[in-house]
Structure 1
Amino acid sequence: MQPHDLPTMINLAENVHEDYPEDDAIFAERLALYPQGCYLLSAGGEPCGYILSHPWAYAKPPELNCLLGEIPSAPDTYYIHDLAILERGRGLGAGAVITDKIVAHARSEGFDNISLVAVGGSNPFWAAQGFGEVVIEALTPKLRSYDDTAAFMVRQL
């Protein structure tokens, strides 16, 4: 993904994640802080999704619509902030393909796990990608700020 892709990504986010709105600045910051973890997905030559990911602190997922400021100096997880795919792009395997690419990148950077917050009933998708729910009571209030089904999920590498 490149800076000129931001308007497309923001439009995709508005269409896919209506219940999880984030300011434009969130997307711009993620791309600026860690461009190697940001990808625009396409199907048939048309944008159909994106992924934002970056190194982070384990069991400390950022709040929704919150600027990071910086990547931690000693990150201990690779974090998937967001994967969004339009309906027309689903069922084509793009989610699995980009997840595999992110897993390979995280391994190459020396991480032994990847974490995320699954929202909107996406838990089965993430489970199929090798992620399992990890219950940490202290995270419950933060997870509920996303939605009632939000789950902290981890894949060991």
Structure 2
Amino acid sequence: MAVTDLPIVERVAEVVHPGYPESGAVPAERLSLFPAGCLIAENGQGAVLGYAVSHPGQLGRPPALDSLLGRISPDADCLYLHDVALLPEARGLGLGESLVDLLRALGARSGFTLLALTAVNRSTPYWRRRGFSDYSGDEMLAAKLASYGGDAVYMISEV
């Protein structure tokens, strides 16, 4: 992902996650803090079909929806998949699995043993098929998840 991709990232987010709006400042900040974790998914003709935004994080401490990090925590112990969004026309192309594979490899290269994410939009079964499991955490995690709505589930997977 490059800075010039941010407008299309915002458009994809509006289509894929209308119930989870975030300011354009969120992916822009993640890109500036951890560019290796920000990826674009394209078709063979160069059309953007989706993206992934990830960054080092702390297990059980996801950022609240539409919040800025300020910096990468020096106590980061996992790669947090902030957002993986694919347009409907990307379904069946294997892009989601490819993005997750790339993020697993990035997590391993970055020295992490775990990936973490917050599943929304009833996507928990999708993530379970990709090796993620529910992580219960504590009251602080529950408070963060509340910003994502009632169906949000924090999940983890080994890299």
What is the TM-score with the length of structure 2 in the denominator?
Answer: 0.95
Q: Give the C-alpha shift of residue 58 in structure 1.
A: 1.1
Unaligned runs of 5+ in 2: none
CA distance in 2, matches of 1:81, 1:21: 13
Q: Check whether the contact 1:55–1:78 (CA below 8 A) recurs between aligned residues.
A: yes
What stretches of structure 1 move > 3 A for 4+ residues in a row? Answer: none
- Secondary structure of the 1:51 match is strand
Identity of aligned residues (%): 40
Q: Give the C-alpha shift of residue 140 in structure 1.
A: 2.1
Q: Check whether the contact 1:52–1:81 (CA below 8 A) recurs between aligned residues.
A: yes
Q: Which residue number corresponds to residue 145 of structure 1?
A: 147
Q: Which residue number corresponds to residue 55 of structure 1?
A: 56
Q: Give the C-alpha shift of residue 125 in structure 1.
A: 1.0
Structure 2 residue 95 is matched with structure 1 residue 103: no
Unaligned runs of 5+ in 1: none
CA distance in 1, matches of 2:136, 2:95: 28
- Secondary structure of the 2:115 match is strand
**What whole-Å deviation, never above 9, does each CA across 1:80-122 have from its counterpart, x for those lacking one?**
0000001001121100011001001101111010101000011
Amino acid at match of 1:87: P
Structure 2 residue 24 is matched with structure 1 residue 24: yes
Count of residue pairs the alignment pairs up? 157
CA distance in 1, matches of 2:94, 2:143: 33
Amino acid at match of 2:7: P
Q: Give the C-alpha shift of residue 129 in structure 1.
A: 1.0
